Amino acid sequence: MKYFISPTKGRLTFEETFDDIMAFVHDMPDEEYKLIIGTDSQVNGDTCFVSAIVIHRVGRGARYYYCREHETIGTGLRQRIFYEASKSLDLASQVAHKLAENGYADVNIEIHLDVGVNGKTKELIRDIVGMISGTGFSARIKPDSYGASKVADKHTR
């Protein structure tokens, strides 16, 4: 079973994570929220993948949860970036399904990608963003992809 870590609540199941997100939203239901999912990785022998879920109460703080997995995959940058995106897409699909079950099918989920116009990943932007957008989710790249480049990245080390 996959567990998420909340810096404030500790180790949670996916169900407990979802319930905590909903409690956060219900605490101040009239505020604007963003639901963000991002994945980052670090190669060190095997590859450490960290996927983060961020519930951002715009202008009033946020909570986040992360899941760390170690896997052995090829070390090529292209393969790793696409795998990060697919892990985010899988998690976003699980969250979207759970939201729909609970009457929140209209919630927009942003997937934050660890790619940007500067650096080695710039030639992957069109393909990765197309992959995410083609599934109906919003895609963000650096510098606007803090769910991957800041939150998830913080826990890959």
Question: What is the tens place of the pLDDT at every residue in 46-101?
Answer: 899 999 999 999 999 999 999 999 998 876 899 999 999 999 999 999 999 999 99
CA separation for the pair 102, 72 (Å, rounded): 36
152 and 51 Cβ atoms separated by less than 8 Å: yes
pLDDT of residue 118: 93
Q: 14 falls in which pLDDT band (50, 70, 90)? A: very high
- Locate the domains of the chain by residue range: 4-154
Q: What is the pTM of this model?
A: 0.95
95 and 125 Cβ atoms separated by less than 8 Å: no
pLDDT of residue 45: 82
pLDDT at 146 over 90: yes
Question: What is the tens place of the pLDDT at every residue in 15-52?
Answer: 999 999 999 999 999 999 999 999 999 988 889 999 99
pLDDT of residue 73: 80
**Residue 111, phi then psi, degrees to nearest 5:** -105, 120
pLDDT of residue 106: 87
